[in-house]
Amino acid sequence: MTVGDAELPDPRIPVVHGLAHGDLHLHNALVPLRRGTLCPDAFRLIDLSTFADDAPLTRDVATLMLSVLAERAPTGLIDEHELALLRHVVDPRDAYVARIVPELALLVDDVHSACTDVASGGWHALWSDQLLLSVLATALRFTTYEDLGAARRWRFFRLAARAGGELLSRHGVTPPSSAPAVSPPSQASTAGRASTTTRATTVAAREARRPRRCPTTAERCRTTRERRRTTGGPAPRPAHGPRRADRLRRPARGRHRPAAFPPGGRRGG
């Protein structure tokens, strides 16, 4: 998946297309709740900006299934359970169910069961291959979503590789027996950043322990003069009182006071 192989053939697969939403994730499907009962038959789809009348019909199925995995499948699984989940999505089998979260196993089984009902009458093999292609493409698209985090993006990368390998094996193509190893993003970046992170943490800790002292007025004035001398700015104002021009523009205290009573008159009658 990462380095490719020019010797692998590129099988041509017919595509079943028709009306499709284009971005059918969990938040674009609304199911009404009436008197405390869900009504799935009355669902509504929103955000139809990607709707098309000639899109691959398996695209929405793959997007909906993988969006549920992105939100509900926990991270940090041991490799045996993680591998069972990926294999079950690509090729559901009872042997994988015992090592998968029951909710996710039921979801995958229901999706594939619904697809089997839709693609009956000799369409199952064609639909199954097309669904693998949609899972591969959708999983690769999910690897670009930074808000999913490194662990989930790595999961979808592995899922895309599993879907591609399963599709090739169905068409009699055997992947290479050996290939360059690919490490998860966290492991690949940890080794390179270990020394830098340790150095930065040490400096930050030392700076945090160092006592801080507020600069005096003379130090602030000296810093300001040096900065303005370097940048060629105007001369700094003195630290004691306003400038002489400001004092000349300011009216003298006591002038222009309004009279308390008319001139020549007296207070009272």
pLDDT digits (tens, 9 = 90+) for 213-236: 556 666 666 777 776 666 665 555
- Highest mean pLDDT (candidates 76-80, 134-138, 218-222, 224-228): 134-138
pLDDT at residue 1, rounded to an integer: 61
Torsion of CA 65, 70, 75, 77, to 10 degrees: 10
- Token duo for residue 245: 């021009």
The pTM of the full predicted model, rounded to 2 decimals, is: 0.66
CA distance 42 to 66: 23
160, 139 in Cβ contact below 8 A?
A: yes
- Quote the pLDDT of residue 171: 83
Average pLDDT over residues 123-146: 93
- pLDDT confidence tier of residue 139, bands split at 50, 70 and 90: very high
Q: How far apart are CA 164 and CA 166, in angstroms?
A: 5
Q: Does the pLDDT of residue 206 top 50, yes or no?
A: no
